[in-house]
Structure 1
Amino acid sequence: MILAGKIKEPDPLNPKVLLWADVSYSDMEEIENTKAIPELKRTLCCVLGVNIPEPRRGVLLELYVHTVLFCRESNFNREQTSVLLSIVKSMHQANTETPLNNMGHCYAYCSELLLCHSVRRPPFSISLFSSEEVTQILKYLLNTYFRHYNLYKYIFTPQVRLDLSFSYSGMPDEDPVTETDAVSSDGYCKKENEPETAEREQPIEAMNTGPEVANKDPSPKSELRTIIQQEMREEMIHMSRQLEQRLKESADRLNSALTSLETNLQGKK
């Protein structure tokens, strides 16, 4: 079996202070002065450097626009809005850097980033959000980004495909066609310098293969190929059923985890 490529493993996530990391003070002034949604999308596209093709570009800009609207509804100041945009951007990058399921790591990373901006402990963290605001932000992210976590993963990560190639020892190789072989005008192969009429001069009786050739036993290689194809077909059906069951169980666990987190957040109020 030959492994054509490797799935990228997620990199270690190191939370840090993100004040003015992606959105500067002048950028926030421009964002605050932009009221229309189309203009806000263009502004965020330039500020956050969204240079990806559609439809991913539209999905990502929609995420940033709704984050800004949430900050406006929550009456966040410029520093808080800048930090929350950077947190959403960092969280999305952590999610889409690998096609593997890393939802737990992304949520822990998001929580640690919020902690870096809610506790005064310079230079490792600053006090920018209150505990009520942190709870409000987590609830918003749970109901928006993490609720559609699998959709973001599907859109922004490459599709994983497994290609298998087998080689068997002791199996005879097929005779390759040499360069001296030529193809005649009627589609039959012939040796170089062989007269074209050699095959035509054969009697008709010689061209009749007879029942012996028709009932010739298949070669060991063709039998092996048939067995492998049948086994692979049955195994793929079995794996497909297992995958469907695991996807259903994963979706149930995700919904249960989100419901539990929402209940805990509501209980803290």
Structure 2
Amino acid sequence: MTRKILIVDDDQKTRVLLKAYLEKNQYEVILSHNGESFIAEFQHQFDQLALVILDVMLPDTDGFALCKTVRQRCNVPIIMLTASSDETDRIVGLELGADDYIAKPYSPRELLARIKAILRRSGADTAVASRYYKFVGFTLDLVERKVIDSQGQVVALTGLDYQLLKYFVEHPGDILDRQVLSEQTRGRDLGPLDRTLDVQISRLRQLLKDDRKPSELIKTVRGAGYVFSADVSISGV
């Protein structure tokens, strides 16, 4: 598995610190100081990257625009760094396809823990015997980490979309508590006012064409959580 990480941050001290810390932990780190240099590195390295880290505030663009650019090209996991205490930045990033966010100031140790968690959750370590999960015309491939619709088209999933859908299809018919979903897909608890899981559920419904009200595939159970209502079949071929 590749361990190459591309980081864009306009603060030189931060870049140097992160590079030294992550390389000490056996990651290969590529640094960019603005949007232009990031795009150049990304276009050259995108198929070799394990993860991308985007600072929201940059001198020539912002992390949201870069997140959108990355998602148009590939599904590499994305962590966004934001100095804002407002949850708006976090929600916008998730809607654009980011997999996680960290509020500044943060410690390199916290960032490393988030990196490890994302890469662990995105690893293709599922047994071939349960490779394909099929439901209402869709097929989720756990080896290639992709979803194909009834027309044979690949549905563009982010890493977080994939983790959420994977957990749903593995527990069809179960009422899944919001905290459990957050722990299983993001590796952390939800705060009392945290709306990020709701945003992600809404995004997944749209990707699966389940955005009618009320939803028929991912149903809301008031006061309890969510339930994946489809019949799911599992196969290795």
TM-score w.r.t. structure 1 length?
0.24
* Higher RCO structure, 1 or 2 (CA under 8 Å, sep 6+): 1
Task: Specify which structure has the higher proportion of strand.
Answer: 2
Structure showing greater Rg: 1
